[in-house]
Amino acid sequence: MMHEISGHNFHGRYRLRLRGPAEGFVLSNAQARRYWRELCPFAGCACGGGYGEGPDADSAIVEQGFGPDGAVVLTLIPGVEDRGA
């Protein structure tokens, strides 16, 4: 299923659609690159994709955590529409 991630941050509006299981999933390396590039398209910027209003109320969200080896793991949590609410 397609999950939409949208909101407003330091650089303005962002919108990204990622395909994955309906219940949520860990982003692949390619999906993680697309996600970070959408949040911050400027090389060398130190914003980290944050600051600003954040995700839209009905948007899927991506939570950042760490794997057992200490590597960053991004997990998509379905949005309101994706959950059928």
Asked if residue 36 belongs to a domain, the reply is yes
Asked if residue 83 belongs to a domain, the reply is no
Asked if residue 82 belongs to a domain, the reply is no
Using an 8 Å Cβ cutoff, are 48 and 35 in contact? no
Asked if residue 57 belongs to a domain, the reply is yes
In the structure encoding, which two tokens stand for residue 48, read together? 């980290």
Asked if residue 38 belongs to a domain, the reply is yes
Q: What is the pLDDT of residue 82?
A: 57
pTM of the predicted protein model: 0.84
State the total domains in the chain.
Answer: 1
Specify which residues 12 forms β-bridges with: 9
Q: What is the pLDDT of residue 51?
A: 79
pLDDT 10s per residue in the chain (85 long)?
A: 999 999 999 888 999 999 999 999 999 999 999 999 998 888 888 887 777 888 999 999 999 999 999 999 999 999 986 555 4
In the structure encoding, which two tokens stand for residue 1, read together? 């299923």
Q: Which domain holds residue 22?
A: 2-77
Asked if residue 28 belongs to a domain, the reply is yes
